[in-house]
Structure 1
Amino acid sequence: MLFAQKNSLARFPKGHTPEEVGKRLAYRFTDRKHALHMGKWISYPETFNWNGSLKFAAITHNEELLKLLKNRFEPLFSSEQQLLPIQNHVDMNMFGSLPLELYQITKEQRYLQLGLPYADTQWLLPEKSNAKEKEWADKGYSWQTRLWIDDMYMITIVQTQAYKVTGDSKYLDRAASEMVLYLNELQRPNGLFYHAPDVPFYWGRGNGWMAAGMTELLRSLPETHIHRARILEGYRTMMKSLKTYQTKAGMWNQLIDEPDCWAETSGTAMFTYALISGVKHGWLNKKEYAPVARKAWMAMVPYINDKGDVTEVCIGTNKKNDKQYYYDRKRNVGDFHGQAPYLWCVVALLEGVK
């Protein structure tokens, strides 16, 4: 019984329960100012934090929190409309996942009408496009393809959300096809991913985007989908490798395979989300992987400070073929890159066990 309790994803000590952690982080988000991309548009880290808070409000039936989160969005229909991201890049188009999440919760058509174009334009080649964008489009991929591992959450999340609200399989097919491309191009034999073809380093949060992206797709893909087996194979190969690289403390490092690198929270949270989901949905062996996920969660929670801010979060990071660049990245406190995946873990823990 003691072994089962220590390896359970359903029972946690006070201070570590998903209900407590979710409440701290979600309400903390409602107090924050917008984090704008280039000072102009709602950024993708804020969008993901918003999404995580909404999912927590929905799964806990917290109407007060839901109202606060809806009120935060309301000005985007009017006085803050200029903050809506343009639809020209993976980091911009993913914003559509937010109004589509609000539509799923509220069933208000205005959210659907706002969100869906962000998914559609990701595959609609603009008139002014370069040769590379045209090449990707001609092959059936998004013209926004760039083979950075970050993309496979950005693209996947808005396309899977579009599928959830429309039931149109084209959105799943797009995301799955794109995911297989990235798996084939970037996953290494050890299960981890280079940041890009010309950047041969296993950056933590970058790999986290892949782990979370595969997780989102597997949650939606039918068992019979042509690409499901390949994506599940890539996912399981990655999870096996992550199990090996988890530190004794339960975290994963900024560079996953470098023991002397610092423990980084956003990547750790993304891996933990993928592991929890895998155990809950039966993609991973519960006896083998539930202890890994629990150990990670127990290690993650103490990184939240008294204000509800996650510490040791790598700042936004472009690719660079320089290992020291990743070692030297600034570590932020309260960065939305870290707040968001903690909330994804919370929601995954609160979901029913298979």
Structure 2
Amino acid sequence: MKRLIIYSILSIAAIYAYGQSNFSKTDIKSIMKRVADWQIANPAKGHEHDDLNWTHAALYMGMIDWAELTEKEDGDSSYYEWLMKIGRRNAWQVGKYMYHADHIAVGQVFLDMYQKYHDRNMLLPTLARTEFVINHPSASTLELDYRNMSSLERWSWCDALFMAPPVYAKMYMLTNDWKYIEFMNREYKATYDYLFDKEEKLFYRDHRYFKQKEANGTKVFWGRGNGWVLGGLCEILQTLPHSNMHRQFYQDLFITLSERIIQLQGKDGYWHASLLDPDSYPSPETSATGFIVYALAYGVNEGLLDKTTFMPAIEKGWKALVKAVEKDGKLGYVQPIGADPKKVTREMTEVYGVGAFLLAGNQIYEMVE
């Protein structure tokens, strides 16, 4: 609490030093368009990048927010058309593994498309998958060794809290069937109880890191992993109405995690691959930073986070993200696919980093008057 008070005082001083907001709507849209267009023109390849994988699910989530913005303000439906082509060529299916959270993540975007176009083909595959999982719950436990594939049938790693819970929240809102929210709450809280360190107020990536230490002796808390959790909470909070009795848990967790994460921003504006040992991973990391800026900006826009306290971190984070974009729109400094902190270089890029960038940009754009 004392650290947060000190940070707040410094934040107020920073606001007076450079003004309430240095954002420009024109600049924000311009950089977002460059990043989105570069990614579309340079599709990712490989087995981790098929249309229905989690990597692309995160990209689509940023793209659909960007599509909504460009259609609303510019009458440009081309990004919706791009998403439509992806959905149609895959018959709006989700991934192949029945219980794996990563393989239902694309359902979030397909359900959003259904809400816009009301084409039942966009809904039915995700409906079928969620119905089966709820009616035939996995008998696996969160504690299983990761060499056993059954360990991935539950939300046993923190990234899963971005991938799957929002699907069930959206299914609940679409059907008004309480079973979806009951399933989401039960599974989410099990993961929270298992992976959330109540002393550090951060999430372990998974059970393998409970006893590991960084070079400086601190616990291992992965930047993007905690960014995944914050991003998933944003999606849940944007879905559940304020009157929903279960919303308070997610809102309180969002605020707690946000208040902790703001203390861990680097002087360069980035959140680094290792949250508690940034000196061992000093290079920028844009996927963690993108998801965190998205979450903090959403929190301010929604009135959940204090603007005076959080705006300086949001501004520093967005400026850092923009610095990582090449002239052609390629986003750099994205940590590759993994489960723990790794070193990152400027030429590294990934589709989920672009998704996070677009999610953040849309929230930044919304806060500019």
Per the shorter chain, which TM-score range? 0.7 to 0.9
Q: The residue matched to 2:277 in structure 1 has which SS?
A: coil
Higher relative contact order, chain-length normalized (CA < 8 Å, sep 6+): 2
Name the CA distance, whole Å, in 2 between partners of 1:14 and 1:348: 11
Judged with a 3 Å threshold, the aligned counterparts in structure 2 of structure 1 residues 118 and 339 are, in CA distance, closer, same or farther, namely farther
Partner of 1:346: 361
Judged with a 3 Å threshold, the aligned counterparts in structure 2 of structure 1 residues 14 and 72 are, in CA distance, closer, same or farther, namely same
Partner of 2:19: 6
Partner of 1:101: 112
Report if the CA contact (8 A) 1:212-1:270 is conserved: yes
Residue 186 of structure 2 is aligned to residue 172 of structure 1? no
Residue 312 of structure 2 is aligned to residue 303 of structure 1? no
* 1:64 counterpart (64, 78, 82): 78
Partner of 2:134: 123
* 1:114 counterpart (116, 125, 132): 125
Spell out, residue by residue over 1:110-169, the C-alpha distance to the aligned partner (whole angstroms, 9 max, x if none).
Answer: 21223322333343427xx65548x9xxxxxx9931421111011123223323433434
Report if the CA contact (8 A) 2:287-2:353 is conserved: yes
Identity %: 25
Name the CA distance, whole Å, in 1 between partners of 2:25 and 2:66: 19
Partner of 2:37: 27
Matches within 5 A, 1:1-354: 3=16, 6-8=19-21, 12-13=23-24, 17-33=27-43, 35=45, 37=47, 42-61=52-71, 62-77=76-91, 85-88=95-98, 89-125=100-136, 131-132=140-141, 144-188=153-197, 189-200=199-210, 201-260=220-279, 261-262=281-282, 263-318=284-339, 326-328=341-343, 333-351=348-366
Partner of 2:7: none
Task: Return the offset for 1:38.
Answer: 5.3
Name the CA distance, whole Å, in 2 between partners of 1:328 and 1:54: 30
Q: The residue matched to 2:205 in structure 1 has which SS?
A: coil
Judged with a 3 Å threshold, the aligned counterparts in structure 2 of structure 1 residues 196 and 341 are, in CA distance, closer, same or farther, namely same
Report if the CA contact (8 A) 1:99-1:112 is conserved: yes
Report if the CA contact (8 A) 2:324-2:346 is conserved: no
Spell out, residue by residue over 1:263-288, the C-alpha distance to the aligned partner (whole angstroms, 9 max, x if none).
Answer: 31101111111101110111111111
Name the CA distance, whole Å, in 2 between partners of 1:290 and 1:197: 34
Task: Return the offset for 1:243.
Answer: 1.3
Report if the CA contact (8 A) 1:208-1:270 is conserved: yes
Name the CA distance, whole Å, in 1 between partners of 2:125 and 2:276: 41
Judged with a 3 Å threshold, the aligned counterparts in structure 2 of structure 1 residues 213 and 64 are, in CA distance, closer, same or farther, namely closer
Report if the CA contact (8 A) 1:30-1:69 is conserved: no
Name the CA distance, whole Å, in 1 between partners of 2:194 and 2:184: 15
Task: Return the offset for 1:295.
Answer: 1.5
Name the CA distance, whole Å, in 2 between partners of 1:214 and 1:76: 27
Report if the CA contact (8 A) 1:254-1:327 is conserved: yes
Name the CA distance, whole Å, in 1 between partners of 2:24 and 2:270: 19
- Structure 1: 5+ residue stretches without partners: 136-141, 320-325
Question: How many residue pairs get matched?
Answer: 331
**Counterpart residue identity of residue 36, structure 2:** A
Task: Return the offset for 1:216.
Answer: 1.6
Judged with a 3 Å threshold, the aligned counterparts in structure 2 of structure 1 residues 336 and 118 are, in CA distance, closer, same or farther, namely farther
